[in-house]
């Protein structure tokens, strides 16, 4: 039982790291090319100086993209997020109309005559 759980955690960590590395490398190449292009256009002497900023920005952006895609995936395909919050219902579900109505009342959005009738 414990070994199965440990194996599942190791597999999940490996998958997350692999996804993060893929996104990171893509963003690092992209941001490095932008930095290199800027240095060439402005005729700067140090071409490699800004590559460190591209590296740090790529790592931060990769983490944001990874978390964002995970949240989007949980919203689109249902289930719970890692934070434990249940995502809103899908637009075609039976509970979607009640969710929209509650969202309008809770947030104060949709101040129309239709809201006053509810």
DSSP type of residue 108: -
The CA distance from 46 to 56, in Å, is 18
Distances (CA, A) of 7 to 10, 19, 43, 74, 83: 5, 18, 53, 23, 22
Contacts of 106 (CB under 8 A, 6+ apart): none
Write down the pTM of the prediction.
0.60
Tens digit of each residue's pLDDT, the chain (118 residues) = 778 888 888 998 899 999 999 999 999 999 999 999 988 899 888 777 788 889 999 999 999 999 888 887 777 776 655 555 555 555 555 555 555 554 554 455 544 444 444 4
């Amino acid at each position: 039982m414990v070994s199965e759980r440990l194996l599942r955690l190791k597999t999940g960590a490996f998958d997350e790291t692999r996804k993060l590395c893929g996104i990171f490398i893509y963003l690092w190449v992209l941001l490095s090319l932008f930095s290199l292009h800027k240095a060439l256009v402005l005729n700067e002497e140090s071409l490699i100086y800004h590559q460190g900023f591209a590296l740090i920005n790529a790592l931060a952006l990769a983490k944001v993209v990874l978390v964002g895609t995970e949240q989007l995936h949980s919203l689109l395909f249902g289930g719970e997020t890692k934070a434990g919050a249940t995502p809103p219902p899908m637009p075609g579900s039976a509970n979607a109309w009640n969710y929209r109505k509650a969202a309008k009342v809770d947030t104060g959005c949709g101040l129309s005559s239709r809201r006053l009738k509810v």
